[in-house]
Amino acid sequence: AAAEIGVIGLGVMGANLALNIADNGYHVAVFNRTAARTEEFAAAAGSLGDRVTACATLEDFVAAIRPPRPVIIMVKAGEPVDQQIAALKPLLEANDIIIDAGNANFRDTMRRFTDLDGSGLTFIGMGVSGGEEGARHGPSIMVGGAEEAWNRVEPVLTAISAKYQGEPCAAWLGENGAGHFVKTIHNGIEYADMQMIAEVYGVMRDHLSMDAETIAAVFSAWSTGPLDSYLIDITADVLMVHDAATGRPIVDVIVDAAGQKGTGRWSVIESQMMGVPATAIEAAVAARSLSAMRAERAKAHKRFGVPGQQNRREGQLVVDDLEKALLAGKVAAYAQGFAVMAAASREFGWNLPMATIARIWRAGCIIRSRFLDEIATAFTETPDVENLVLSPAFSSMLVETDPYLRRIVAEAALNGLPVPALAGALGYFDTYRRERGTANLIQAQRDFFGAHGFERLDADGEHHGPWGGQG
């Protein structure tokens, strides 16, 4: 057997991952459920073909790989992964490693670890980010499983990963579901980043009456400042592209209903389960769901119109304010995402390395940015900080940008412009920074109707209110 590794599933991501592996000097065996796709892949492999063994059957595929075999599965998350594992299991031998590289729900990954326990096979749940380009030329790779298994595949995974100033963006993050959990939170943050960018785009388009090209120039300028990131770059690029059929900016002919495949929603579900607020991410997921209700929104528009036109004060808002507001929102989204990971790390006993996570997100992945380098530094300098916003660097960033976030959210509210993720970020800060909150009233209400009890500021123990029989 000539191959050092195998890839199952030759969709765009799997095919590009296989080419990336071959490109890095490894011999790779490939297999796809539909043989035609495998042949097509082999035919298109070009000069890399020498290092690719295209297999028509799963038996041939397994036989083509030198044991102990690392086998990457890159198929649709969910049921197809279980089917693939079931098909592979009888063909593999002790110490072979099955690596699920899809966007799996980490709870499925945890279950698969348990299922494979005692089978002699090793399992790795691996988050891969970077889209098609990343898969082909260097993704960010988040690995969960036994550290010993990681040690065996580390050379090939670091070889194919993105590099940030020479440092590979691939790391072992913890046992079992750690890699897929971190990938899920990456996607949750990705949702928040994208939503907040869309919100400031909306302010520019609908409030400042700027056209796509003018907005593109703004994003372009921002990409040389603190917001410098892949998502800001592609936003500028996307806004510049014109539709061939109509000659209009392509964004102006695209339907305003966003899809979602689940990772964003899972990140919110998991954060809620652990009682860790992720308001910017929650708002981003909800905004995608609302975006999909087009017919209902059209009805509501007819019924209510667009509010706040009387408050229109053109020129009040300046584009520079939007940049700072977006930065403040970004601080919230990342602080929340990292807080969710910290809680999960405790809950599942992973000991997630926060600075390393930030480091392997600096290149290759969709949320790659200058900002992540600053997060890596913050977690290196203050590894035990309870929340990113309490680290010295991010406290200063927040103090500087908070007034702009406040102004934008207020102006947007007065003008009926939806900015739910930015508003969620602001609400989070304003709640987080207030020592005396309002939950004293909630506690009184709970005690009144359900005798739930409350604590007093001036005495220990549980107390009940003097509701005088009304409660």
Q: Closest-CB residue for ligand 6PG? A: 129
Contact between residue 405 and residue 422 where contact means Cβ atoms under 8 Å apart: yes
Q: Is 175 in the site for ligand 6PG (CB under 6 A)?
A: no
263 is an interface residue for ligand 6PG by CB under 6 A: yes
List, in sequence order, every beta strand (DSSP E) within 272-343: none
Which range touches ligand 6PG (CB under 6 A), out of 46-54, 123-131, 148-156, 445-453? 123-131
Handedness of CA 284, 206, 368, 15 (dihedral sign): positive
Burial code (b: 16+ CB inside 10 Å, e: under 16) for 346-382 equals: eebebebbbbbbbbbbbbbbbbbbebbbbbbebbeeb
* Smallest distance, ligand 6PG to C-beta of residue 104, A: 11
Nearer to ligand 6PG, 192 or 218 (CB): 192
Which of 183, 282, 324, 330 is the catalytic position?
Answer: 183
| Residues 130-149, mask of contacts with ligand 6PG (x by CB under 6 A) | xx------------------
Choose among 447, 319, 308: nearest CA to 456.
447
Interface stretch with ligand 6PG, choices 62-70, 222-230, 237-245, 257-265 (CB under 6 A) = 257-265
Continuous segment of H or E residues that includes residue 328: helix 319-348
Return the biggest CA–CA distance within the chain.
Answer: 85
Among 105, 109, 129, 415, binds ligand 6PG (CB under 6 A): 129
Instruction: Output the CA angle 446-423-444, nearest 5 degrees.
Output: 10
187 lies in the binding site for ligand 6PG (CB under 6 A): yes
Q: Please tell me the count of residues contacting ligand 6PG according to CB under 6 A.
A: 13
Q: How far apart are CA 336 and CA 432, in angstroms?
A: 11
The amino acid at 330: K
**Restricting to residues 363-422, which ones interact with ligand 6PG according to CB under 6 A?**
365-366
Please, how many CA atoms are within 13 Å of residue 137, restricted to the half-sphere of its CB? 5
| Min separation Cβ 330 and ligand 6PG, Å | 17
Where does this chain touch ligand 6PG (CB under 6 A) — which range of 41-49, 93-101, 154-162, 255-263? 255-263
User: Does a cis peptide bond (omega within 30 degrees of 0) precede residue 383?
Assistant: no
Binding to ligand 6PG by residue 229, rule CB under 6 A? no
Q: Interacting stretch for ligand 6PG, rule CB under 6 A, among 124-132, 147-155, 200-208, 298-306? A: 124-132
Q: Is 330 noted as a catalytic residue in this protein?
A: no
Q: Which residue has the tokens 């970077």?
A: 130
Tokens matching residue 434: 């207030």
**Which residue's entry shows tokens 């499925």?**
108
Cα 340 to its chain centre, rounded Å, is 12
In the annotation, is 183 catalytic?
Answer: yes
Catalytic-role residue among 190, 282, 323, 374: 190
Least distance CB 264 / ligand 6PG (angstroms) = 6
> Would you count residue 316 as binding ligand 6PG (CB under 6 A)?
no
User: Which residues belong to the active site?
Assistant: 183, 190
Q: Which residues form the interface with ligand 6PG (CB under 6 A)?
A: 103, 129-131, 187, 190, 259-261, 263-264, 365-366
